[in-house]
C-alpha cells in the first residue's frame, strides 16, 4: 500500500507548479474528485433505484433531461458550491451562471457537463463528467460574472473528466502532463493508474456518427472514403469505434490512438458539441498528452467564446490523424 498514490496526494504534488495558488487549486480538484464519488455511487446503482428514464423536462439545449442528469447536476453544485472555493459556476444543464451561496473567498470559475452521454445510461453504456477550471479575471469574487466563464480555452488552469464504466477513472491536467486515476471502491479512493499519459501520434480508430452521413459536407464524406481505403503503408483502413458518449470515445482514443470527429452538418451548421463544457476541457487534456484539437480550421483553445452554450465542430485525438481530417475539411485533399 505504501506505493499507492491517491489523487489527493498527486494533486498536492502538482501544487509546486502553482506557488501563487496557496493550495487553492489542490482543494478545488479534491472537491471535484469528491463530487465524482457521489455521482459514481448513483451511476452504479442506477438500475436498482428510481433514477433511470426521463425527468419530464428539457434543458437549455432543448434536449430531454434524464433523471440522472438532474441528480449529477445537483450533487456537483451542492458538493462543490458549499465550500466557497468557486466564485461562479456554469453547467450544461443550466441556462445561466450559478453563483454559489458562499462565494466570497473563491478565486476560480468552474464549468462542467455533469453527465455526458446520459442517453446511454439506461443500457449500461459508459457515461462521464467533464470539467474545466479558470481563474477569475478580477480580484473580487463577489463581482464574479459570466465574463469569468467566457475565457479562451488556453486560459484554463485545470481540466479533466471522470468516466463511469467497468471501472471508474478520473483523468486530469493542470497544464503539466495528463494523469489518470482508477477508483478503488474497497478503500474509497482514486489511485494513480495512468501516469503521464501520452497519446500516440496516429492510431487505427476513427469515431464518428456515420448515421448522419447524408448531412455531412463533401470534405467529410471524402475523408470517410479515404480512411476506409486499403493502404498498408498508411495503416488503412481504420476501424470504427463509436460509442455515442463523447467522454468514452475520447478516453479510448487518448490511450490507444485515433481520432474523434463531430463535423458540421446541414442540421447543425456550427457543430453540435459545446465549446465550454466539452470541447475546451478535452482539447486542453488532448494537447497536454501530445494530441491535437480543432474545429476543422482553428485550434479549439484559441476560439473566443461568446456564450455559455456555444457550439462547435470538433476534430480531436492523435495529431497526425486530426491533421488529415482537417485537410479534407479544408478542401486540401
Q: Which residues does the annotation place in the binding site for Mg(2+)?
A: 92, 113, 115-116, 278
Measured distance CA(205)–CA(196) in Å, rounded = 22
Measured distance CA(26)–CA(13) in Å, rounded = 9
Q: Sign of the CA dihedral 308, 314, 318, 323? A: negative
Among 17, 38, 37, smallest CA distance to 26 is for: 17
Helices (H) and strands (E) in the chain, counts: 7, 16
- Binding positions: 92, 113, 115-119, 209, 242, 272, 278
φ/ψ (deg, to 5) at 130: -120, 140
User: Beta strand 64-66 with 258-262: parallel, antiparallel or unpaired?
Assistant: unpaired
Measured distance CA(311)–CA(219) in Å, rounded = 20
φ/ψ (deg, to 5) at 18: -130, 65
Residue 22, classified by CB atoms within 10 Å of its CB into exposed (0-12), middle (13-18) or buried (19+), is exposed
Terminal Cα distance for the chain, rounded: 54
List the alpha helices (DSSP H) in the chain. 7-14, 24-43, 67-81, 218-228, 246-256, 280-288, 319-329
Measured distance CA(183)–CA(7) in Å, rounded = 10
Amino acid at each position: 500500500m505504501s506505493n499507492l498514490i491517491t489523487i489527493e496526494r498527486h494533486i498536492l504534488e502538482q501544487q509546486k507548479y502553482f506557488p501563487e495558488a496557496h493550495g487553492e487549486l489542490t482543494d478545488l480538484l479534491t472537491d471535484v474528485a469528491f463530487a465524482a464519488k457521489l455521482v459514481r455511487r448513483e451511476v452504479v446503482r442506477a438500475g436498482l433505484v428510481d433514477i433511470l428514464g426521463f425527468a419530464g423536462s428539457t434543458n437549455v439545449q432543448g434536449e430531454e433531461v434524464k433523471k440522472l442528469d438532474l441528480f449529477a447536476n445537483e450533487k456537483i453544485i451542492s458538493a462543490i458550491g458549499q465550500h466557497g472555493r468557486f466564485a461562479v459556476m456554469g453547467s450544461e444543464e443550466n441556462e445561466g451562471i450559478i453563483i454559489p451561496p458562499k462565494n466570497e473567498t473563491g478565486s476560480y470559475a468552474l464549468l462542467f457537463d455533469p453527465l455526458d452521454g446520459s442517453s446511454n445510461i439506461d443500457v449500461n453504456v459508459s457515461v462521464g463528467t467533464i470539467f474545466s477550471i479558470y481563474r477569475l479575471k478580477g480580484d473580487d469574487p463577489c463581482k464574479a460574472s459570466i465574463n469569468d466563464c467566457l475565457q479562451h480555452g488556453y486560459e484554463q488552469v485545470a481540466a479533466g473528466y471522470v468516466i463511469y464504466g467497468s471501472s471508474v477513472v478520473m483523468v486530469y491536467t493542470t497544464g503539466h502532463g495528463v494523469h489518470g486515476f482508477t477508483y478503488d471502491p474497497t478503500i474509497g479512493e482514486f489511485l494513480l493508474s495512468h501516469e503521464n499519459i501520452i497519446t500516440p501520434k496516429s492510431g487505427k480508430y476513427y469515431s464518428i456518427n456515420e448515421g448522419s452521413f447524408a448531412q455531412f459536407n463533401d470534405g467529410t464524406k471524402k475523408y470517410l472514403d479515404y480512411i476506409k481505403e486499403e493502404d498498408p503503408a498508411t495503416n488503412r483502413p481504420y476501424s470504427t469505434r463509436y460509442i455515442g458518449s463523447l467522454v468514452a470515445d475520447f478516453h479510448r482514443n487518448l490511450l490507444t490512438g485515433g481520432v474523434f470527429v463531430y463535423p458540421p452538418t446541414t442540421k447543425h451548421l456550427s457543430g453540435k458539441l459545446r465549446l465550454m463544457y466539452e470541447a475546451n476541457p478535452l482539447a486542453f487534456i488532448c494537447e497536454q498528452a501530445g494530441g491535437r484539437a480543432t474545429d476543422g480550421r482553428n485550434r479549439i483553445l484559441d476560439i473566443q467564446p461568446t456564450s455559455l452554450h456555444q457550439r462547435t465542430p470538433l476534430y480531436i485525438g492523435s495529431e497526425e490523424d486530426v491533421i488529415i481530417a482537417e485537410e479534407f475539411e479544408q478542401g486540401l485533399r
